[in-house]
C-alpha cells in the first residue's frame, strides 16, 4: 500500500465536505444485530438510501457544479443517466440556479423519470440503453456549450462522493472495515481515498472492500490486467452499478486504496433486499444492497467494526415486487412444484392436506390435463407454497414423497 493516492488530497476531500454540506444530509448509522451474528463482528449500516434524491450521487454532482464559472453556469449543464446520477444533477442544478438537461434511455423507470423532472431538469428520452443516452448528452454538450457532468470519472465528483467516508470516520470512530458497492468506481474511490488518507495521519489501518454484481464485474479483470478493461455485461437487477469499463481516475485510486473486490449473484442481492426490508426496515435498491449480499453469501473477510454502505434506495415498486419474490425463492421461503397425479376425484384435496399438515401455506394452484410428459390417465398439479425456509421446504417435499407422490420443484 502506497502512502499517497491519485486524485483528490485529504484537504480537497475536507473542502468538498464544507461545500456538500449545503445540500447533502449527514445520513444515519444503523446497527444490524442480524448481520453482526452472521459476520461475527459488529456491523452497522451507513444509510445513503435515506439521502436527498435517495442516493449519494447528489454529493459529487453538487461539488463538481459548485466549481463552475459564471459563464459555465450560464451555459447550463447536461448529463446522461438511467437514475441516481440524473436526480443528483437535477437537484444540484436547481439549488445552484443552473439549467439542467438530462438524457435518459427510453425504458427508464417511471419513478426515476418523474423525480428527475420534479427537481427541475429538462428530461430528454433517447435510445433503448444508457449508451445511446450518453452519446446524445455529449453531442448536446458539443452543440450548445452546456457543461457535461460525468457520473464518476472526475476528481471533483470523486471528492464529493468521498465525503461519505469522512462522515463514517466521525460517526464510527472505531471502524476497521468498510464495504462499498462498485459500478464505475466513483463512490468507492472517494470513500477509500478519503478514509485511508486520514487513517494514515492517525497511524491506523482501515480495510476497504468493494462489491460488484457478478454479471457486471469490470474491476476484477481490470485489476488483474493492471488497467481498465471492457467486459461484456449480462443482465443484472443491480442496474445502478452495471458499468462495462472502470473509470480511469477511479481505477488509478482503487488499485492502491481498495483491499479486495468480491462479486455477488442476483439471487444474493435479492436475499439481501428481503433481509433489509424485514430486519432493518429499510428500502434499498439492488445496487445499494450488494454489500449486505456479500455478507449473506459469506464473501467478506473483515476485521473489527464493519460499516456496510447502502448507496441508494431508488427502486421501482414493480421491480421491488419481482425482486422480493426472487429473494423469497432464493431463501427457500417460496416454492413452486409440479406433481403428476392420477386423474380421479380427491387428489387435489389430498395434496392440500399433506401440505397443510406440514404447516405450509398454499398460495396458488393450477390443474391441467395437458402435457406431453403426462400419461392419458394423469393430470398435473402446479402448486405454489410459502414455507419458513429451505429446511421447511424439504420437509414438505419429503412428506409428499412419503405418500407416493413425485413432486418436481420448478423454483
Residue pair 295/348 in contact (Cβ under 8 Å)? The answer is: no
> Is residue 328 pLDDT above 50, yes or no?
yes
How far is 206 from 347, CA to CA, in rounded Å? 61
Counting beta carbons within 10 angstroms of the beta carbon of residue 104, is it exposed (0 to 12), middle (13 to 18) or buried (19 or more)?
Answer: buried
Residue pair 296/325 in contact (Cβ under 8 Å)? The answer is: no
* pTM of this structure: 0.85
Mean pLDDT taken over the chain: 92
Q: In this predicted model, what pLDDT tens digit does every residue of 62-92 receive, in sequence order? A: 999 999 999 999 999 999 997 899 999 999 9
Domains of the chain: 10-56+155-328 (3.40.50.1100), 58-148 (3.40.50.1100), 332-409 (3.30.70.260)
Higher pLDDT, residue 364 or 293: 293
Whole-number pLDDT of residue 374: 60
Residue pair 195/169 in contact (Cβ under 8 Å)? The answer is: yes
| Helix ranges restricted to H, 145-288 | 155-161, 163-171, 186-202, 219-225, 248-257, 266-275
**Confidence band (pLDDT; 50, 70, 90) for 1?**
very low
Q: In this predicted model, what pLDDT tens digit does every residue of 183-241 receive, in sequence order? A: 999 999 999 999 999 999 999 999 999 999 999 999 999 999 999 999 998 999 998 89
Residue whose cell numbers read 398460495: 363
Amino acid at each position: 500500500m502506497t502512502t499517497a493516492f491519485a486524485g483528490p488530497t485529504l484537504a480537497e476531500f475536507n473542502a468538498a465536505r464544507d461545500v456538500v454540506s449545503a445540500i447533502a444530509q449527514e445520513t444515519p448509522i444503523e446497527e444490524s444485530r442480524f448481520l453482526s451474528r452472521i459476520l461475527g463482528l459488529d456491523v452497522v449500516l451507513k444509510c445513503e438510501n435515506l439521502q436527498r434524491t435517495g442516493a449519494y450521487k447528489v454529493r459529487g454532482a453538487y461539488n463538481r457544479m459548485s466549481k463552475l464559472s459564471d459563464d459555465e453556469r450560464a451555459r447550463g449543464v447536461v448529463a446522461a443517466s438511467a437514475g441516481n446520477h440524473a436526480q443528483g444533477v437535477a437537484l444540484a442544478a436547481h439549488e445552484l440556479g443552473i439549467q439542467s438537461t438530462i438524457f435518459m434511455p427510453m425504458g427508464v423507470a417511471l419513478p426515476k423519470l418523474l423525480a428527475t423532472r420534479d427537481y427541475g431538469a429538462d428530461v430528454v428520452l433517447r435510445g433503448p440503453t444508457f449508451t445511446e443516452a450518453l452519446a446524445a448528452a455529449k453531442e448536446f454538450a458539443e452543440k450548445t456549450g452546456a457543461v457535461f457532468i460525468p457520473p464518476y470519472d472526475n476528481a471533483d465528483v470523486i471528492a464529493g462522493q468521498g465525503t461519505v467516508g469522512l462522515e463514517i470516520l466521525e460517526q464510527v470512530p472505531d471502524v476497521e472495515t468498510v464495504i462499498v458497492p462498485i459500478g464505475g468506481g466513483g463512490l468507492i474511490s472517494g470513500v477509500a481515498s478519503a478514509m485511508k488518507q486520514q487513517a494514515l495521519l492517525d497511524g491506523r489501518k482501515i480495510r476497504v472492500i468493494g462489491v460488484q454484481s457478478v454479471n457486471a464485474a469490470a474491476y476484477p479483470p481490470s485489476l488483474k490486467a493492471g488497467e481498465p478493461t471492457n467486459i461484456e455485461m449480462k443482465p443484472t437487477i443491480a442496474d445502478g452499478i452495471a458499468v462495462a469499463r472502470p473509470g480511469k481516475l477511479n481505477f488509478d485510486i482503487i488499485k492502491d486504496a481498495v483491499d479486495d473486490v468480491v462479486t455477488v449473484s442476483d439471487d444474493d442481492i435479492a436475499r439481501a433486499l428481503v433481509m433489509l426490508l424485514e430486519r432493518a426496515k429499510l428500502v434499498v435498491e439492488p445496487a445499494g444492497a450488494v454489500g449486505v449480499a456479500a455478507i449473506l453469501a459469506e464473501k467478506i473477510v473483515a476485521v473489527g467494526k464493519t460499516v456496510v454502505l447502502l448507496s441508494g434506495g431508488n427502486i421501482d415498486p414493480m421491480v421491488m415486487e419481482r425482486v422480493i419474490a426472487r429473494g423469497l425463492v432464493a431463501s427457500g421461503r417460496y416454492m413452486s412444484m409440479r406433481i403428476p397425479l392420477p386423474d380421479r376425484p380427491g387428489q387435489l384435496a389430498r395434496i392440500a392436506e399433506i401440505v397443510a399438515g406440514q404447516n405450509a401455506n398454499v398460495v396458488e394452484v393450477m390443474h391441467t390435463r395437458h402435457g406431453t410428459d403426462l400419461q392419458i390417465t394423469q393430470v398435473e398439479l402446479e402448486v405454489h407454497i410459502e414455507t419458513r425456509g429451505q429446511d421447511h421446504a424439504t420437509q414438505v417435499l419429503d412428506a409428499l414423497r412419503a405418500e407416493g407422490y413425485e413432486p418436481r420443484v420448478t423454483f
